[in-house]
Amino acid sequence: MQPMMSVISIPLIQKEILQPHQLHEQLSLFEAQMVESAIVSMLSESFCKNEQTLKYLARLLSPMSYLDIINARSGNKICGYPLCHERISENLSDGLLTYSIYCSKFHSKCSLYLIRQLPQIPLNERSGVHSTSYYNPSFNDVYNVDLLEELIRNRISTATVTSLTADFECLEVDDIHKDETTLLDEYSVQVTTEKNSCMKY
């Protein structure tokens, strides 16, 4: 029997991760690394309480730190999407045991839609996002993200859905999601390359 997973909430994130870093408006590089590492560790065996919690966390994430979360969860055989608590399935192919990254194709699309909205701006250059002194659940700034579930629930037009998911067609593969792994790997290489290019200047 699998152990019960813990639930991550906004108050928990503020208390356990952000509270020690409230002395100034902007995090140092070391503090930002500590925050990102703590988030990855926390989500490696837990899941977000609700959509608002994931959107709050997204303000502190970059594409690379989100990929770290996916990898950590996958290593623990948990669906890579932080809103999910389902275990991922085992697959036997050519005598090799492999695991899916997500519990479903829908969550793979939700995850990819989220990662493509995460800012490239390093956490230590984002003023005030780690502050716990003021929290408005209706954040609407450069770090705000939308979730695919919200768009579907709000009954956006068919044309808009088609446009939003056009890039996801390569994810319509078998249950092993081999193309999905490749897509995330390619995205990781792209982000790392861009990051290294920026560091040269």
Q: Please tell me which of 68-72, 84-88, 99-103 the model is most confident about, judged by mean pLDDT.
A: 68-72
Give the domains, in start order, of the chain with CATH numbers. 6-199 (1.25.40.820)
Percent of residues, the chain, with pLDDT higher than 90: 50
pLDDT of residue 152: 84
201 band by pLDDT with thresholds 50, 70 and 90? very low
Contact yes or no for 161/151 (Cβ under 8 A): yes
* DSSP-based three-state secondary structure for 161: helix
pLDDT of residue 171: 41
Q: Are 8 and 53 in contact (CB under 8 A)?
A: yes
d(Cα 36, Cα 61) in Å, to the nearest integer?
Answer: 7
129-148 pLDDT per residue, tens: 999 886 666 666 788 899 99
> Strand 96-99 vs strand 46-48: parallel, antiparallel, or unpaired?
unpaired
Contact 80, 111 (CB under 8 A): yes
pLDDT at 64 over 60: yes
Q: What pLDDT does residue 192 have?
A: 41
- What's the pTM? 0.75
**Average pLDDT along the chain:** 78
More confident residue, 83 or 133: 83
Residues 6+ apart with CB under 8 A from 198: none
What share of the chain in percent tops pLDDT 70? 67
